[in-house]
Structure 1
Amino acid sequence: MWCAVLGASCVISLSPGAGAIASMATGMRFGLRRGYWNIAGLQLGLLLQIAVVAAGLGALLANSTLAFTVIKWFGVAYLVFLGVRQWRASVTDVSGVDGEVAETSGPAMTLRGFLVNASNPKAVVFMLAVLPQFITPSAPLLPQYLIIAATMVAVDVAVMTGYTGLASKVLRLMRSPRQQRATNRTFSGLFFVAATFLATIRRAV
């Protein structure tokens, strides 16, 4: 059963989404080492989603049009905000960091990562459909959810580290302001695409 959980976790993490875009954008701007702050935030958001499903609130979210809509549009607005911020991001001096990068605190990056995952209601609904398949109702539920959470977080950390590290290589290659600006705007466009995709999602009836 654990191998099935591991396989599902790999598919979920490797699927392109707002978390992957945020990881690559963070890696490009801040590098891998500071990118772990964002990865930590993503995992906190992931743990919240699992906790919501485990507590039975996922069913409420899946069945409440109002709750689903409010969280969805908050997520859309936040992704648009990230897209605008990425578009306007200053370029980075290859020999060091610029003022904007230096002033961006680790906790702020963690909060950003958390909001990216926490504001995605479709992920909660998806987990509500997937996670129960790995649960044995007759056995204690808490240990099972803890194992699932640990597996999903470990896999997601590895995958997001890969995305962040790959993007950090781009930072070293983008030496001219023009190249860096073009890369920033590419990731900005990806945030806008993710926001558009989230906006088109409808609650399953």
Structure 2
Amino acid sequence: MNFDLWLAFLVACIVLAISPGAGAVNSMSIAMKHGFKRSLISNLGLQVGNIINITIVGAGLGALLAQSEVMFFTIKWAGIIYLIYLGIQKFRESTTDCNELERRQDESAWKVFTQAVFINITNPKSIVFLVALLPQFIDPLGSYLQQMQILGITMVVVDLTVMAGYSMLATRVAHLIQSKRHLMIQNRIFGCMFIGAGTLLAAISRN
């Protein structure tokens, strides 16, 4: 793989990562609720989800998913339902008292991690996008496995960095949200964002 081809892929990854989606919403929500350190666990979960998607595409299963209407819509609606569920959970948090909110700060790292993984692997558009994108940056004369590793690492590092940036931005705002009323507004905003992400996913067609 030549440098110019890799550089073009890097730019594409940056644009894709910066475009806000369910992953960014989740990162900011976790950062504001649990702090920056806990958001890194969520970020790690997102990247594990990315690695799973890249592996599926690299193994050729992504093309099958892109062509199979049943598989596509099964994963798609699992993602929609999960995002809407997360949105409803955020709305329900607005009715709890401050002591309950403090206890929820101890939410397990495993739950935060698996939630992030599930958000990424239930986004079939990500796999379809990778199926369409990755082949454009593969040199047929080079090693397929080596090039997939380079592209995969690039994508994960870029997304990891951008999500950390979203989390850091969220923590800078979090100190302004201290009262119960502010917490309620925050939860409703993120609830709407999760539900909105699910609604947008519902509008995605297989093509």
Q: 2:176 aligns with which of 157, 173, 178?
A: 173
What RMSD in Å do the two structures reach over aligned CA positions? Answer: 1.6
How is 1:131-146 mapped onto 2 (pairs within 5 angstroms)? 131-146=134-149
| Matched residues, number | 201
Aligned with 1:3 (options 7, 10, 13): 7
Three-state SS of the structure 1 residue aligned to 2:142 is coil
2:156 matched residue in structure 1: 153
CA distances 1:79-115 after superposition (whole Å, capped 9, x unpaired): 011101111226796xxx711121x111111101000
Task: Give runs of aligned pairs for residues 17-36 of structure 1, distance below 5 A.
Answer: 17-36=21-40
Give the whole-Å Cα distance in 2 for the aligned partners of 1:98 and 1:32: 16
Mapped partners of 2:10, 2:19: distance in 1: 14
1:84/1:188 contact within 8 Å kept: yes
Matched, 1:98 2:102: yes
Amino acid at match of 2:128: V
- CA–CA distance in structure 1, aligned partners of residues 93 and 173 of structure 2: 16
For 1:89 and 1:26, the matched residues in 2 are separated by: 13
Q: What is the identity, as a one-letter code, of the residue corresponding to 1:4?
A: A
Query: 2:56 corresponds to which residue?
Result: 52
Match of 2:139, SS state, is coil
Contact residue 46 and residue 153 of structure 1 kept, 8 A: yes
TM-score normalised to the size of structure 1? 0.94
Q: Does structure 1 residue 75 correspond to structure 2 residue 71?
A: no
1:138 Cα offset (Å):
2.3
TM-score (norm 2): 0.93
What SS class does the counterpart of residue 88 from structure 1 fall into? helix
Aligned to 1:13: 17
Q: 1:136 aligns to what SS in structure 2? A: coil
Post-superposition shift, 1:23?
0.8
Structure 2 unaligned segments of length 5 or more: list them.
Answer: none
The match for 1:124 is 127
Give the Cα–Cα distance (whole angstroms) in 2 for the partners of residues 165 and 89 of structure 1. 22
The amino acid across from 2:141 in the alignment is: S
Letter in 1 for 2:114: L
Helix, strand or coil: the match of 1:76?
A: helix
Q: 1:92 to 1:16 in 2, by over 3 A?
A: farther
Identical columns (%): 42
Shift of 1:170: 2.2
Say whether the 8 Å CA contact 1:30–1:168 is kept in structure 2.
no
Question: Whole-Å Cα distance in 2 between the matches of residues 136 and 85 of structure 1?
Answer: 46
**Aligned-partner Cα distance in 1 for 2:112–2:135:** 32
For 1:23, give the aligned amino acid. S
Which shifted more, 67-76 or 137-146?
137-146
